[in-house]
Structure 1
Amino acid sequence: MKKWLLHGMLIAMFLVIIPGCSDRLDMEDATFPLLIGFDLDKKNEFIVYSTSPNFIKNIEKKTRELRVKPLTNRQSREKQDSYTPGVFQGRTIQVILVSKRILQQENWFRLTDVWFRDPKNPLTPRIIAFDGPLSDIIYLNPKDQPMLPLLLRDMVETKNIRSETVKTTLQGLHQQIREKGVTPVISEARVIDEQVALTGTTLLDHKGKFADSLNMQESILLRILQNNTKKSISLTIPIPGEMKIGPFHTDKLSLNADKIKAKIKTSFLHDKFQFDIHITMRVGLTERLFPYDVRSRGRELENKIIDQVQQQFDSLIKKIQADKIDPIGLGFYAQAHEYSQFKKVEDHWGESLAKADIQVSVKTIIGAMGTVK
């Protein structure tokens, strides 16, 4: 190879490699926030929290928490930099924790604008609503649990698989807010008896404003209506006619359900949308706290299960319609099957859905009753 060609290749490689190292930042010179939190104080002043891991030796505390009062989310980075030995790096964020007080404000989602404008920022952090002041959870720091950001991240992952909550990322929330046929849903956390608990799902309206909360069982029912259950789901229901004995709820029946399918038929009649939702599932009994001969009275028990599950679906539908929201995504079905009618109401779809006729029918088959009689 000619000498001039070799020199030219070496110079070209040098020019390519050097710019790639120009923004190098050593770990000891950086602060890696894993959690960012938004809240309002009693004076309605904007507060931003952050939680970062401690890499300094001989320090027992695993994390460092910061609290600043910026004018904007972007300004909070500079304010937090003034309290840390390293440069604030937003690309490591795993969780964005938003207080209920923030969610009750109009257009709060504009606070996330900086993450969408800077391509270095991740769009995959989990969005979690917190019912209470963020100080209650940020400074909790239980010694027998992982650091808070990793704990919340893993709780969302596992509870989402069990359909007990939803996994909504920053990008996912942005898409849900932009869609007219559905309203956003995010995970919800609380502190109960000084322990972090993921309690279900927060429902938002079309602008991302807080609308309502669902507990874990209601969250499971919502996932069934969305036709979005990951694996088998677990439900506990009361059985009418069975007695409660002493302090124990011995009138309850627990079951696992799988092979769940939700078929939705859509129409437009009498100036309103009609949705017929037919749900089928195979159930296995996992706990029965009252005497019952399932073998000879199995069909009767199936009918009782159907009645109770259907009542819970009806209650959830009434809550959704009262809030004038659509976390199920029925607007997608209206758009697909009754497009001309949907276009007339798409800008106020929640109000139209509140007037809709939504009927849910449930069919269950007991496929297993356990290994004991």
Structure 2
Amino acid sequence: MKKACKLLLLMLICSFMSSCWDAKKLDDLYLVYGIGIDISQENPARYLVTIAAPTIHPEAKEPKIEISSEGTSLRNAQDNIQNKANRRITYANTKIFFIGEETAKRGIEKHIDSLLRDPEGRGTIRLLVSEGRAVDLMQIDPPATPLVSLYIADMLRQGHETSTIPFTTLRRFNNALKTDGIEPVIPFLKYGNKPSEFLINNISLFNQDKMIGKLDGIESFTFMVLTGEIQDGFMTLSYPLGDMDEHPVLSLRVIGNKSQVRTEIKDSKFHIYHEISLTTHISEYTSSESVFGEKIIKSMEQAANLHLEAICDKLIRKLQSQYKNDNIGYGRYVKVNHPESFDGDNWNEQFSQAVIHIKPNVRIQMVGTMR
């Protein structure tokens, strides 16, 4: 009898614990999927923050709601936005933090810190720097979904899977910002020929928390190769090597990427040896010449190695000479291997003087044809 009473009491207690005390209905909330931040046009000392959320209610006139407000900081502007809303705003579902170009150049550390401190904030929120102003981007209606936040979130995922942009989240940016020997990067969005056409194959370079430049097109792919983030992608070159307008085009699909870095000090200079191995398939070859045969495959691999070495050297020279900024992260290896010579405060200057040796190793695994 006592056991039965205890069991009944336990079931009664569990019934009171079956729901959350602070639960709210979806109809009472605005689920924010995207936050944008710009410098105020009226007062450059203030920020304009924009949020976008689906209206959810079936009788709503519009499928989404956008609210903007200014403030002295991101959090202050968010509080001002809440004062304009007829529902409780929650950021637990936020997918993207849109950063206007001018805001990125001014510095974003305090905004990143604010989002990470928010109890509803998630370190997995993706970051994106927008050409122009973030508020203009968030007002666009993309063709596939009413919320540009969801559309671009899918584009960012796809862009990383095809190895054109890095996977940058709040947490990853903050880690790079706080780590000696590497500078952060964030994907950069450019507009296409139409207002709703977006190009996400560019990378914004940061020195500390300030944007200082961009990488475009082939430079973005090269950056992904150098950082070892290649998952899938294409490398196109003329073969035999020469003018692309006069020679057949060889396109290789990259299906595997290994990277190995070693360092040494020689003649009072840092020497960085970077070996890059790519496993590829032939995706396109616009010549009628047969690709069957070890000799031509070896020749193609040699041409691909020369091409890869050239584009890597060009990007590294740009980072060393034009920006003096180690966004690749070579300093992390120098810090581990030569702690007595590594200068965390002045590593970018040391990086600009380092001698970097690229050793590519491209292997063609499949020719992709039956002819």
- The equivalent residue for 1:190 is 190
- Alpha-carbon distance in structure 2 between the residues aligned to 1:64 and 1:101: 25
Amino acid at match of 1:320: L
| Residue range with higher mean Cα deviation, 214-223 or 294-303 | 294-303
Amino acid at match of 1:162: T
- Alpha-carbon distance in structure 2 between the residues aligned to 1:69 and 1:28: 26
- The equivalent residue for 2:173 is 173
TM-score by length of 2: 0.88
Matched, 1:369 2:343: no
The answer (yes or no) to whether the contact 1:136–1:191 under 8 Å persists in 2 is no
C-alpha change, 1:263 and 1:34, in structure 2 (3 Å) is same
Amino acid at match of 1:263: Q
- The equivalent residue for 1:24 is 23
Percent of pairs identical after alignment?
20
- The equivalent residue for 1:212 is 213
- Alpha-carbon distance in structure 1 between the residues aligned to 2:302 and 2:99: 42
Matched, 1:274 2:276: no
Matched, 1:360 2:361: no
The answer (yes or no) to whether the contact 1:127–1:168 under 8 Å persists in 2 is yes
Matched, 1:50 2:51: yes
- Partner of 2:92, secondary structure, is helix
- The equivalent residue for 2:118 is 118
C-alpha change, 1:145 and 1:32, in structure 2 (3 Å) is closer
Question: After superposition, where does 1:131-146 map in structure 2 within 5 Å?
Answer: 131-145=131-145
- Using the TM superposition, give the Cα deviation of residue 115 of structure 1 relative to its aligned residue in structure 2, in angstroms: 2.5
| Residue range with higher mean Cα deviation, 320-329 or 38-47 | 38-47
The answer (yes or no) to whether the contact 1:237–1:309 under 8 Å persists in 2 is no
Alignment equivalent of 2:204, drawn from 202, 205, 208: 202
Matched, 1:338 2:312: no
* Count of residues in correspondence between the two structures: 362
TM-score by length of 1: 0.87
- Alpha-carbon distance in structure 1 between the residues aligned to 2:338 and 2:203: 29
C-alpha change, 1:175 and 1:59, in structure 2 (3 Å) is same
- Partner of 2:273, secondary structure, is strand
The answer (yes or no) to whether the contact 1:34–1:93 under 8 Å persists in 2 is yes
C-alpha change, 1:61 and 1:252, in structure 2 (3 Å) is farther
- Alpha-carbon distance in structure 2 between the residues aligned to 1:298 and 1:93: 48
The answer (yes or no) to whether the contact 2:116–2:170 under 8 Å persists in 1 is no
Amino acid at match of 1:54: T
- Alpha-carbon distance in structure 1 between the residues aligned to 2:27 and 2:273: 59
The answer (yes or no) to whether the contact 1:37–1:50 under 8 Å persists in 2 is yes
- Alpha-carbon distance in structure 2 between the residues aligned to 1:2 and 1:297: 82
Q: Which runs of 5+ in 2 are unaligned?
A: none
- Alpha-carbon distance in structure 2 between the residues aligned to 1:351 and 1:315: 18
| Residue range with higher mean Cα deviation, 173-182 or 78-87 | 78-87
- Alpha-carbon distance in structure 2 between the residues aligned to 1:14 and 1:77: 37
- The equivalent residue for 2:347 is 349
- Partner of 1:334, secondary structure, is helix
- Partner of 1:104, secondary structure, is helix
Amino acid at match of 1:38: I
- Partner of 2:127, secondary structure, is strand
- The equivalent residue for 1:86 is 87
- The equivalent residue for 1:233 is 233
- Alpha-carbon distance in structure 2 between the residues aligned to 1:288 and 1:14: 68
- Using the TM superposition, give the Cα deviation of residue 141 of structure 1 relative to its aligned residue in structure 2, in angstroms: 0.6
- The equivalent residue for 1:73 is 74
- The equivalent residue for 1:101 is 102
User: 1:295-349 deviations in whole A, cap 9, x for unaligned?
Assistant: 454433332222122110101111121312222211111112111111xx11121
- Using the TM superposition, give the Cα deviation of residue 121 of structure 1 relative to its aligned residue in structure 2, in angstroms: 2.4
- Using the TM superposition, give the Cα deviation of residue 90 of structure 1 relative to its aligned residue in structure 2, in angstroms: 1.9
- Alpha-carbon distance in structure 1 between the residues aligned to 2:320 and 2:268: 17
The answer (yes or no) to whether the contact 1:97–1:127 under 8 Å persists in 2 is yes
- Using the TM superposition, give the Cα deviation of residue 237 of structure 1 relative to its aligned residue in structure 2, in angstroms: 2.1
User: 1:81-106 deviations in whole A, cap 9, x for unaligned?
Assistant: 23322011122211101111111114
User: 1:39-76 deviations in whole A, cap 9, x for unaligned?
Assistant: 12445241111111111223463221222111221122
- Using the TM superposition, give the Cα deviation of residue 185 of structure 1 relative to its aligned residue in structure 2, in angstroms: 1.5
C-alpha change, 1:10 and 1:359, in structure 2 (3 Å) is same
- Alpha-carbon distance in structure 1 between the residues aligned to 2:335 and 2:64: 48
The two structures, once aligned, show a CA RMSD in angstroms of: 2.7
Alignment equivalent of 1:258, drawn from 251, 255, 260: 255
